[in-house]
Structure 1
Amino acid sequence: MQVHPARIRPLGFTPPKPGPVVLWMGRDQRADDNWALLHAAALAKAAGAPLFALFALPPDFPPATARHADFLLRGLAAVETALRDHGIPLALVPGDPAVAVPAFLRRVRAGVCVTDFDPLRPGRAAREAVATAPVWDGALLEVDAHNVVPAFVASAKREYAAATFRPKILKLLPEFLEPFPDLPAFAAGNLAGFAPVDWEAARAGLVLDPSVAPVAGITPGPEAAREALAAFLADRLPAYADRRNDPNAGATSTLSPWFHHGHLAPQRAALDALEAKKRAPAGAEAFLEELVVRRELADNYCLHEPAYDTLAALPAWAQKTLGAHAADPRPYRYTAREFETAATHSALWNAAERQLVRQGRLHGYMRMYWAKKILEWSATPEAALATALSLNDRYALDGSDPSGVAGVLWSVGGLHDRPWASRPVFGQIRYMNARGCRRKFDVDAYIARHGGGAADHNGEVA
């Protein structure tokens, strides 16, 4: 059951001490296919020590909407059931993780805490605070359970584009794309002192915005995620290579909410896609490119770029061209609120926004169009970036994720892209318009399905 040692790195300088082992669960919320949990279990078994799982829940966790809380808590409830079936309790502690986690570790006299990898600032700040907390003096270990190739192994620097990152990933895949071992069970006594979580009380303790309602028709949790993966591979993988850019085709995986919450290991998806490659080789290759290369490139970007959600993080050519065209007249100009309420002149853009608001997801091709039009119709590039990131994080079930950050920065600012022919407003940033969308798919069918509202005044600018 040994976890590849390159997946593991210490945070801080304190060595392991005798006592219980705690898995501090964050980005990877599942019992199966979880390298962080497997490593914690191996340490506990080797030491003959108890193993506990922990999740810290701030009362106002961002974006603090009813939609995200519902998906998070129902998913965690399913994870708790699976953990307890293995004799592992899950403790849900309220409060700022920087304070709540060290307090819990001290209370249970933990000798080692294992946590999962997260390249975003809030997660990294919480881990740094726990590693240096004076109230607990055990060892904190970080395990990348989210990437097939650990992000801190894949590259020691921020990669310029997929073209520079892909060879490094492909070289390392044979070493890291390995089957998962089974999670061992612990004796029933390991549950002593830990009653099941009161999930209704946990929900009641949160300060939430009820205006962003839960999404009907999508079930959180690892079991639902595995079912969704199986359905995609069986039914839609053959069409993925050719039809994934058609928002009406239903050819995408739709797995991003489960990936984001850690209900499904990307490595499990990669292993299962390789099994399906015999009957859908083109679809499997295209899916693996998105799943491994492109998704892990986003983690690489956020890991190595401190200012990952600002225009200052863009390549020099992109910053220069956006600056040169910042004062260009806009064909339309909308406020953040007008974007949020789908109150633009464009039926197609309004349909995309309404899909995001109602369904908590936006087709990948439409997300590019959606973000690029926010750039074209905002007063400044800075305002466009702020609006796109805010709306994505507020409404998307996969919001506040490295892939979402990188996707918005690609669309608005040319991240991981190259210069194109110069245009007003965009400069050399890649351009998209409604007329181009019409060449790709049935725009009218998409508008009819999602309720676009106002008619497009001009296909060239809409």
Structure 2
Amino acid sequence: MNIVNPGRVRRVTDGVGGHGPVVYWMSRDQRARDNWALLHARERAQARSVPVVVAFCLSQTFLGATLRQYDFMLRGLRETAGRLRALNIPFALLHGAAPEVLPSFLHDLRASELVTDFDPLRVKRGWLREVAAAAGMPVHEVDAHNVVPARLVSERQEYAARTIRPKIHRLLSEFLEPFPELSQVSNVTVPYIAEPDFEEALRWIRVDATVAPVALPAGEDAAEARLLAFIAEGLSSYAEGHSDPNVDGTSGLSPYLHFGQLAPQRAALAAAQARHGGEGREAFLEQLVVRRELTDNFCLYNDDYDALSGAPAWALATLDAHRADPRPHVYTREQFEAARTHSPLWNAAQHELVTSGTMHNYMRMYWAKKILEWSATPEDALATALHLNDRYQLDGRDPNGYVGVIWSIAGVHDRPWKERPVFGSIRYMNSNGCRRKFDVEAYIRARSAAPRQLTLV
């Protein structure tokens, strides 16, 4: 009987590998616990009576990520490497993009199979195609990120949450299952892999160091602690606190989910098994499972997920019809980045983003919609919002981020609303709406500071 549901596994290529280990190319799911891809690699290795080796390919740059994101990621990987070492599973930190360094690593080990995790982003899909073509061995992709595998949920781009929700719910009982323990490797000779040098890795990368790391603890243990605290203290009130940025009502799990330090399925199991929760539990599971997996679906089946051309036809038409509308204010990217707009509320949200690496979801919607209203063109607005989101958010460069921005600016997964200047029939938000939701002045007082000089790249 398979440990991993075959519906999670996609055979990318066939081939005849060597007689060496099964290699798990860790990428999106950076954890030893609760990792279906690693469990599948371990299962394949046991069938062949060979060891399993984990390899992570560290790119010098990646989609505009800064020192903030690399620092958080490498702190988590350090913990994961130690956890794997305790299980007698070597961890290799390879310096370079996967197509540049992974094929030779596989060849040197005489690897028998390659297993990797699922990622819907264009660059990751491109890397997988290149590596698979060069590997000459069986290559498997395992969806260790979605509760219900994205490729199994739907074979096309879904229009909205209401169209993907029944497809996910129909399969949820099959895939929302407990994780088995990852057993220690024994009775095989494990190849020597040099211990990763994480300090040297930080020196080797070529990223913008002016966006400083944040003090948020990283890694699997920190992710688990945050999850347990949220289930105990925040799950029941999640439905109310989710729309008030002055209340610590969000789960705080987004950075850990983004870097794969926590399995979304572990969070879903914890919420589903909690003895309390009520409406809060239902709201959390809707965001964690349905809404998050909807963003993976969008990026998997729409290659223009980060461009205006990826928006629905009605949104493109309405934005185009209002392209020449006078804007009340027009700011440059540099002015947005430095929080130098006329709006204390918007500036406070931008300051929170720059200093903390996070922003409340409700404020991120308002923040992006005001960028649309105060930019010369919709194209400029989308480019600015994505640049700032990816540069400062710990969870930037992610399907949730791309879809959140293009939903706000170009109506993805939404419907036409009342027509207004600049927005057309894109859903509108303003500060008065925020005032009806929460204490705007308290938010501004808590997050505002004199705009600091930023080094722009």
- CA shift for structure 1 position 202: 1.1
Native 8 Å contact 1:40 1:51 kept in 2: yes
TM-score norm. by structure 1 comes to: 0.95
C-alpha separation between the residues in 1 aligned to 2:366 and 2:210?
26
Q: How does 1:38-187 map to 2 (within 5 A)?
A: 38-133=39-134, 136-187=135-186
Equivalent residue number for residue 215 of structure 1: 214
Q: In the alignment, residue 175 of structure 2 is paired with which amino acid? A: F
| CA deviation profile, 1:193-227 (whole Å, cap 9, x unmatched) | 123211111111111211100012x1111110000
Are residues 1:26 and 2:27 paired? yes
- CA shift for structure 1 position 253: 0.3
SS in 1 for 2:346: helix
SS in 2 for 1:24: strand
Are residues 1:243 and 2:202 paired? no
Native 8 Å contact 1:248 1:441 kept in 2: yes
Are residues 1:284 and 2:281 paired? yes
Native 8 Å contact 1:73 1:199 kept in 2: yes
Equivalent residue number for residue 265 of structure 1: 263
C-alpha separation between the residues in 2 aligned to 1:205 and 1:5?
39
Native 8 Å contact 1:21 1:40 kept in 2: yes
Q: In the alignment, residue 227 of structure 1 is paired with which amino acid? A: A
| CA deviation profile, 1:273-329 (whole Å, cap 9, x unmatched) | 0011x3111111000000000000000000011111111111111010000011110
- CA shift for structure 1 position 342: 0.3
C-alpha separation between the residues in 1 aligned to 2:197 and 2:450?
43
Equivalent residue number for residue 371 of structure 1: 368
Are residues 1:395 and 2:409 paired? no
Of 374, 378, 381 in structure 1, the residue corresponding to residue 378 of structure 2 is 381
- CA shift for structure 1 position 374: 0.3
Count of aligned pairs between the two proteins: 450
| CA deviation profile, 1:140-187 (whole Å, cap 9, x unmatched) | 110000000000000011000001110100001011111000001113
* Mean CA deviation greater in 286-295 or 186-195: 186-195
**Overall identity of the aligned pairs, in %:** 55
SS in 2 for 1:93: strand
SS in 2 for 1:238: coil
C-alpha separation between the residues in 1 aligned to 2:237 and 2:367?
24
Of 305, 325, 330 in structure 1, the residue corresponding to residue 327 of structure 2 is 330
SS in 1 for 2:140: strand
Runs of 4+ in 1 over 6 A off after TM superposition: none
Let me know the Cα RMSD of the aligned residues: 1.3
C-alpha separation between the residues in 2 aligned to 1:96 and 1:168?
35
Q: In the alignment, residue 25 of structure 2 is paired with which amino acid? A: W
Q: In the alignment, residue 183 of structure 1 is paired with which amino acid? A: L
Which runs of no fewer than 5 residues in structure 2 stay unpaired?
Answer: 452-457
Of 420, 425, 436 in structure 2, the residue corresponding to residue 439 of structure 1 is 436
- CA shift for structure 1 position 124: 0.5
C-alpha separation between the residues in 1 aligned to 2:58 and 2:170?
38
TM-score norm. by structure 2 comes to: 0.96
Equivalent residue number for residue 254 of structure 1: 252
Q: CA, structure 1 residues 47+289, in 2 after alignment: closer, same or farther (shift >3 Å)?
A: same
Equivalent residue number for residue 35 of structure 1: 36
C-alpha separation between the residues in 2 aligned to 1:112 and 1:55?
16
| CA deviation profile, 1:395-446 (whole Å, cap 9, x unmatched) | 0000000010000010000100000000000000000000110000000000
C-alpha separation between the residues in 1 aligned to 2:393 and 2:226?
18
Equivalent residue number for residue 413 of structure 1: 410
- CA shift for structure 1 position 190: 4.8
SS in 1 for 2:141: strand
- CA shift for structure 1 position 15: 5.2
Native 8 Å contact 1:348 1:452 kept in 2: no
Q: CA, structure 1 residues 105+322, in 2 after alignment: closer, same or farther (shift >3 Å)?
A: same
Q: In the alignment, residue 403 of structure 1 is paired with which amino acid? A: N
Q: CA, structure 1 residues 16+105, in 2 after alignment: closer, same or farther (shift >3 Å)?
A: closer
Q: In the alignment, residue 159 of structure 2 is paired with which amino acid? A: Y
Native 8 Å contact 1:16 1:139 kept in 2: yes
Of 318, 321, 337 in structure 1, the residue corresponding to residue 318 of structure 2 is 321
SS in 1 for 2:119: coil
Q: In the alignment, residue 299 of structure 2 is paired with which amino acid? A: C
Q: In the alignment, residue 254 of structure 1 is paired with which amino acid? A: G
